[in-house]
């Protein structure tokens, strides 16, 4: 398993190089010049040219990219054009908030979606199934900004129970996590339902029932375990997505996450900040996906056997 992890980590290197090149290239062809964003409104053409020269923007894309790559190999993500601060440090000041939001929103999504999906599958084509799907559909239909504002109005403004925004206390995470988690609930409920439906009709469960095993045990012990793989997959994908930022939720709740950092940096043409943030997000997202792959092995012995068979002991 360790060899598998190391191999996966090594595979990150070409991914990072590819991602950094694509981001660099896109930022280069995007309309707008970082020098105009750095300079004052009153700046003369000479001053703009001086800024371009100082930043190396007057060199061609290839030279700039190789220079950036050189820094990257030394672990240097550069300095922000706008704030003049170290990109890595800036990213890491924002990452804990994003990680917290990702973690709690996923917890909320799981708390709601897994029981709902199981109930729906077990009671297939009954009113319980329909009700669960309506709840899932509601989660999917409610736009983040609307639900977020609604929660703020009720829990902050009217009841005065929770902070309306910012990452100012432990309780600040509750409303953003509910807002974001609700959106993911729908997808995860449907995944849990269809995974359970696939499993629940299989012969080995019929055998278990015939042997007199209680329905509760059949579902929770035998069916759910086999239905977990697609649920974990979706969880991993959603978690990685949130690590890249949840701009709407972050904006409504003034949550200091990565999403707003990247969007603001794109708007300001802050190339080092954008590239560095996306590289860091790629690394974290890849680690999450890798962890999901590892979890597969623990959930399903067949997958573990495949890893071992492939020499990845």
Q: Which residues inside 193-222 make contact with another protein, applying CB under 8 A?
A: 217, 220-221
Task: Work out whether 29 is an interface residue with another protein (CB under 8 A).
Answer: no
Residue among 5, 140, 213, 254 that touches another protein (CB under 8 A): 254
DSSP label at residue 244: T
Structure tokens at 148: 């977020």
- Closest residue by Cα to residue 139 from 170, 179, 169: 179
Chain CA centroid to CA 295, Å: 18
Binding span for another protein by CB under 8 A among 45-53, 191-199, 229-237, 305-313:
45-53
Strand residues in 214-306 grouped as ranges (E): none
Shortest CB 191 distance to another protein, Å: 17
Residue 235 vs 286, nearer CB to another protein: 235
Q: What residues contact residue 55 under an 8 Å CB cut-off, 6+ apart?
A: 34, 35, 38, 81
Binding span for another protein by CB under 8 A among 18-26, 69-77, 82-90, 191-199:
82-90
- Give the C-alpha distances (Å, rounded to integers) separating 23 from 68, 210, 227, 262: 12, 58, 37, 12
The number of C-alpha atoms within 13 Å of 41 and in the hemisphere containing its C-beta is 0
What is the C-alpha to C-alpha distance for residues 273 and 266, in angstroms, rounded to an integer? 8
- Helix/strand/coil (H/E/C) assignment for every residue in 170-198: HHHHHHHHHHHHHHHHHHHHHHHHHHHHH
Chain CA centroid to CA 284, Å: 9
Structure tokens at 268: 């300001």
Which residue bears the tokens 């969880």?
A: 235
Task: Work out whether 164 is an interface residue with another protein (CB under 8 A).
Answer: yes
What is the C-alpha to C-alpha distance for residues 189 and 195, in angstroms, rounded to an integer? 10
Task: Work out whether 42 is an interface residue with another protein (CB under 8 A).
Answer: yes
DSSP label at residue 166: S
Binding span for another protein by CB under 8 A among 60-68, 107-115, 119-127, 282-290:
107-115
Shortest CB 231 distance to another protein, Å: 12
Q: How many residues bind another protein (CB under 8 A)?
A: 66
State the binding string over 120-159 for another protein (x if CB under 8 A, else -): -----------------------------x--xx--xx-x
Shortest CB 14 distance to another protein, Å: 30
Angle at the Cα of 125 from the Cα atoms of 179 and 220, rounded to 5 degrees: 70
Task: Work out whether 100 is an interface residue with another protein (CB under 8 A).
Answer: no
Binding span for another protein by CB under 8 A among 104-112, 231-239, 278-286, 303-311:
104-112
Task: Work out whether 40 is an interface residue with another protein (CB under 8 A).
Answer: yes
Q: Which residues inside 169-198 make contact with another protein, applying CB under 8 A?
A: 169-171, 174
Residue among 69, 133, 251, 312 that touches another protein (CB under 8 A): 251
Residues comprising the chain, all counted? 313
Residues near another protein (CB under 8 A): 30-34, 36-37, 39-45, 47-48, 51, 82-85, 90, 93-94, 97, 107-108, 110-111, 149, 152-153, 156-157, 159-171, 174, 217, 220-221, 224-225, 228, 251-254, 256, 260-261, 264, 267-269, 299
């Amino acid at each position: 398993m360790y060899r598998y992890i190391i191999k996966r980590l090594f595979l990150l290197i070409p991914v990072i190089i590819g991602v950094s090149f694509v981001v660099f290239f896109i930022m280069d062809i995007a309309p707008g010049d970082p020098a105009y964003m750095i300079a004052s409104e009153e700046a003369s053409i000479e001053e703009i040219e001086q800024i371009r020269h100082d930043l190396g923007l007057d060199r061609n894309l290839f030279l700039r990219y190789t220079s950036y790559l050189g820094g990257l190999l030394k672990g240097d993500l550069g300095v922000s054009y706008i704030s003049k601060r170290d990109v890595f440090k800036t990213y890491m000041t924002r990452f804990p908030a994003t990680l917290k939001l990702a973690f709690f929103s996923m917890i909320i999504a799981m708390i709601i979606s897994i029981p709902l999906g199981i109930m729906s599958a077990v009671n297939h084509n009954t009113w319980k199934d329909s009700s669960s799907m309506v709840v899932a559909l509601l989660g999917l239909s409610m736009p983040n900004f609307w639900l977020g504002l609604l929660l703020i109005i009720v829990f902050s403004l009217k009841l005065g129970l929770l902070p309306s925004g910012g990452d100012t206390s432990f309780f600040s995470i509750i409303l953003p996590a509910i807002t974001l988690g609700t959106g993911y609930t729908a997808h995860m409920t449907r995944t849990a339902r269809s995974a359970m439906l696939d499993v629940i009709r299989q012969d080995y469960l019929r055998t278990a029932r015939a042997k007199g095993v209680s329905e509760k045990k059949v579902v929770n012990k035998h069916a759910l375990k086999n239905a977990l793989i697609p649920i974990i997959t979706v969880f991993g994908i959603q978690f990685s997505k949130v690590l890249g930022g949840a701009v709407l939720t972050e904006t409504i709740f003034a949550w200091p996450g990565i999403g707003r950092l990247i969007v603001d940096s794109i708007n300001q043409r802050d190339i080092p900040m954008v590239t560095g943030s996306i590289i860091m997000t790629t690394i974290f997202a890849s680690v999450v996906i890798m962890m999901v792959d590892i979890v597969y092995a623990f959930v399903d012995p067949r997958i573990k056997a495949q890893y071992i068979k492939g020499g990845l002991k």
